[in-house]
Amino acid sequence: MDRQEFIEALNLIEKEKGIDKEIIFEAIEASLISACKKNFGAGQNIKVTIDRETGAVACYAEKTVVEEVTDSLNEMTLDEARVLNQNYQLGDVVDLEVTPKDFGRISAQTAKQVVVQKFREAEREILYNRYVTKEKEVVTAIVQRKERRNVIVQLGKMDAILPANEQIPFEKYNFNDRIKVYVMEVKQTTKGPQIFVSRTHPELVKRLFEQEVPEIHDGTVEIKSIAREAGSRTKIAVYSKNVNVDALGACVGQNGYRVNVIVEALGGEKIDVINWSDDPKKFIAAALSPSKVVAVALDEEEKSARIVVPDHQLSLAIGKEGQNARLSAKLTGWRIDIKSETQAKGTDFLEIKKNSTAETQKEEVHDFADNLVETATEETEA
């Protein structure tokens, strides 16, 4: 490739790849300086220039004009300088051309290496910019292979890492399986972008609801909080800003279609959708779904709640290995203590002594008594 072809190639690269040719010129010059110093010694000040129009390359030794030379490699006297040009003064820098005979071959090899390197850097930058916009989003990935405990999945042109601690317990990942993943982080490395994805992140559930439920996507329905134990159960609290829109109904969909699509995407994980309320009692009672709640007493200073449920629903309220109570506490932000009607009856379980007036305590007990009557009536009628 001659000089003119090289300049034309750089113009084409700049136009098609968006790589500024000046950056390439500067990188080639910097590389050629290193090559020159191998010939002339590292102690000499060397400058390399490439003509931006013709592509001609020249190598110069830079010498400072001084009264008395103490470093012959980098200094020259005023008399020596004025042999070259009468206008030189003390302190000026003189460029002496020292271009080696085979410098054309060296510069061509260097230029090729630099262009290839810049190509790779540009490709990495383009890929990084493309995928960094997908951070905190949900995308469809195709399972490729396993590397130790990690699963490698394909996102378009890039592979991503699904770490062992971000995999749903006991979920199997087979070659070519299509799975929904949450993009946690996109890192720029010397080898290109590195992408980390998750199947366990609570935001995965949130983003899936945003994709599947138009009312969430447009902001009519808001997701207030999420509590998740990946692969087993998720509780999600939703609230409608429009009194005419049923938040729970919008999320569940007709015949449960919308929530079932999300359940399927999560490999059968159970999802409880509940209505959020700014009344902590109502919110906590709803959070314990599918169990019914007879009474709730709150200790706001301790941020704790005492819950009474029907005798036959105690195990349901607590859940297997305490999961329902645990998720409800995480969802609401309240510490929860649950007892059955029989356990609570005749005790001061609902009595909140700390920072609670006698009137408030009396109200809690009356509520409990009223609920007991209502529950008994409902069971009799059933």
Predicted local confidence at residue 143, as pLDDT: 97
Query: Do 285 and 332 touch, CB atoms closer than 8 A?
Result: no
- The pLDDT of residue 79 is above 70: yes
More confident residue, 321 or 381: 321
For residues 291, 297, 303, 309, the Cα torsion angle rounded to the nearest 10 degrees is -20
pTM: 0.68
Predicted local confidence at residue 250, as pLDDT: 96
Q: For the chain, what is the mean pLDDT?
A: 86
Q: Which fold has domain 289-382?
A: GMP Synthetase; Chain A, domain 3 (3.30.300)
Write a three-state SS string for the chain: CCHHHHHHHHHHHHHHHCCCHHHHHHHHHHHHHHHHHHHHCCCCCEEEEECCCCCCEEEEEEEEEECCCCCCCCEEEHHHHHHHCCCCCCCCEEEEECCCCCHHHHHHHHHHHHHHHHHHHHHHHHHHHHHHCCCCCEEEEEEEEEECCEEEEEECCEEEEECHHHCCCCCCCCCCCEEEEEEEEEEEECCEEEEEEECCCHHHHHHHHHHHCHHHHCCCEEEEEEEEECCCEEEEEEEECCCCCCHHHHHHCHHHHHHHHHHHHCCCCEEEEEECCCCHHHHHHHHCCCCCCCEEEEECCCCEEEEEECHHHHHHHHCHHHHHHHHHHHHHCCEEEEEEHHHHCCCCCCCCCCCCCHHHHHHHHHHHHHHHHHHHHHHHHC
Predicted local confidence at residue 32, as pLDDT: 81
Q: Which fold has domain 3-126?
A: N Utilization Substance Protein A; Chain:P; domain 4 (3.30.1480)
Nearest to 111 by CA among 62, 43, 56: 56
- Confidence tier at 39 by pLDDT (50, 70, 90): low
- The pLDDT of residue 72 is above 70: yes
pLDDT tens for 312-357 read 999 999 999 999 999 999 999 999 999 999 998 878 887 765 444 4
- Confidence tier at 130 by pLDDT (50, 70, 90): confident
The CATH H-level (homologous superfamily) assignment of domain 139-198 is Nucleic acid-binding proteins (2.40.50.140)
Query: Do 324 and 288 touch, CB atoms closer than 8 A?
Result: yes
Domains 201-276 and 289-382 share a fold: yes
- Confidence tier at 4 by pLDDT (50, 70, 90): confident
Which pair of tokens denotes residue 30? Answer: 């910097």
Predicted local confidence at residue 360, as pLDDT: 46
All structural domains of the chain with their residue ranges: 3-126, 139-198, 201-276, 289-382
pLDDT tens for 89-129 read 999 999 888 877 777 677 777 777 777 777 777 778 888 88
Predicted local confidence at residue 372, as pLDDT: 45
pLDDT tens for 162-200 read 999 999 999 999 999 999 999 999 999 888 899 999 999
201-276 has CATH 3.30.300.20 classification: yes
Predicted local confidence at residue 362, as pLDDT: 45
More confident residue, 365 or 130: 130
Phi first, then psi, for residue 183 (nearest 5°) are: -80, 105
pLDDT tens for 273-312 read 999 999 999 999 999 999 999 999 999 999 999 999 999 9
Predicted local confidence at residue 373, as pLDDT: 39
